[in-house]
């Protein structure tokens, strides 16, 4: 995780099963048997770091994140891994690593045109860069955050507020990395999450992309903004007859071997 938002591990992990599935799908495609050095870039609360430890029991594993609260949770989730506070945009390993694994994190930083080649350069020969990022910027979940933020008594406080960044088109990642990689795989998957509870999509967003907006508000103003966002979302994510809410969530996957 990164960005200026305060991260609440408990809120983020409220939908831990849904958030974990893409991480597992990415990990299943990593074509390495016994890497020596592994980095979980944007490790968050460490639940995925623990999976990396299980997959690669002999590896030296480092989790990197910008949130001290997330790192505290991660140290409990994966006590036999190392963790460090770090900015994704400038993070550099002490020595080349065999796997840089990043699940739902790199969309929080920009300048992917330079970031992704730089990450690839930190790999050993035959090392792998494995990345998963949400591709949701045109979806109501994300688009309406900006719409609601611009219209209401909170507008002045939220002026120019941004959340996770828009990622590049998939073809741009191909053009960027294909000349640098011995092997490159790209794919997209849309997950249909079945969420429970009232305004469940708001609760989902409050653990991630809505966090920077909520952090700028407090008390009744925060409550009013959240209520307005919920009202704007309901026509797009209606509750089904059984009370569940369906959230289609598209994600981009990338595997680049140096």
Of 15-29, 102-116, 119-133, which gets the smallest average pLDDT?
Answer: 15-29
Query: Cα(45)–Cα(92) distance, rounded to whole angstroms?
Result: 21
The residues near 79 (Cβ < 8 Å, ≥ 6 apart) are none
Other C-beta atoms closer than 10 Å to the C-beta of 169 total 11
Report the number of secondary-structure helices (H) and strands (E) in the chain.
11, 7
Query: Cα(236)–Cα(234) distance, rounded to whole angstroms?
Result: 5
Query: Per residue in 45-69, pLDDT tens?
Result: 999 999 999 999 999 999 999 999 9
Q: Which pLDDT score, from 0 to 100, does residue 4 have?
A: 45
Cα 209 to its chain centre, rounded Å, is 9
Write down all domains in the chain, each with its CATH number in brackets: 9-257 (3.40.50.150)
Q: Which pLDDT score, from 0 to 100, does residue 218 have?
A: 94
Query: Cα(234)–Cα(241) distance, rounded to whole angstroms?
Result: 14
Question: Is 161:212 a contact under the CB 8 Å cutoff?
Answer: yes
Q: How confident is the model at residue 165 (pLDDT cuts 50, 70, 90)?
A: confident
User: Nearest Cα to 246, choosing from 229, 232, 233?
Assistant: 233
DSSP secondary structure letter of residue 66: S
């Amino acid at each position: 995780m990164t960005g200026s938002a305060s991260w609440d591990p408990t809120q983020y992990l409220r939908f831990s099963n849904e958030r974990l599935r893409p991480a597992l799908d990415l990990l299943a495609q990593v074509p390495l048997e016994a890497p020596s050095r592994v980095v979980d870039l944007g490790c968050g609360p460490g639940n995925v770091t623990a999976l990396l430890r299980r997959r690669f029991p002999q590896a030296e594993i480092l989790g990197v994140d910008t949130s001290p609260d997330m790192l505290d949770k991660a140290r409990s989730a994966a006590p036999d891994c190392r963790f460090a506070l770090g900015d994704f945009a400038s993070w550099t390993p002490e020595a080349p690593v065999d796997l840089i694994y990043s699940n739902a994190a790199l969309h929080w930083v920009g300048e992917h045109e330079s970031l992704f080649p730089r990450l690839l350069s930190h790999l050993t020969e035959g090392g792998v860069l494995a990345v998963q990022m949400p591709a949701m910027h045109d979806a109501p979940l994300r688009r309406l955050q900006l719409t609601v933020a611009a219209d209401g008594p909170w507008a002045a406080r939220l002026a120019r507020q941004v959340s996770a960044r828009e990622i590049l088109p998939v073809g741009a990642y191909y053009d960027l990395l294909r000349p640098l990689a011995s092997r490159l795989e790209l794919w997209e998957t849309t997950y249909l999450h079945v969420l429970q509870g009232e305004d469940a999509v708001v609760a989902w967003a409050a653990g991630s992309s809505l966090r920077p907006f909520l952090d700028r508000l407090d008390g009744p103003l925060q409550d009013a903004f959240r209520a307005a966002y919920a009202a704007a979302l309901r026509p797009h994510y209606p509750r089904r007859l059984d009370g569940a809410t369906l959230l289609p969530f598209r994600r981009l996957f990338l595997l680049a071997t140096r």
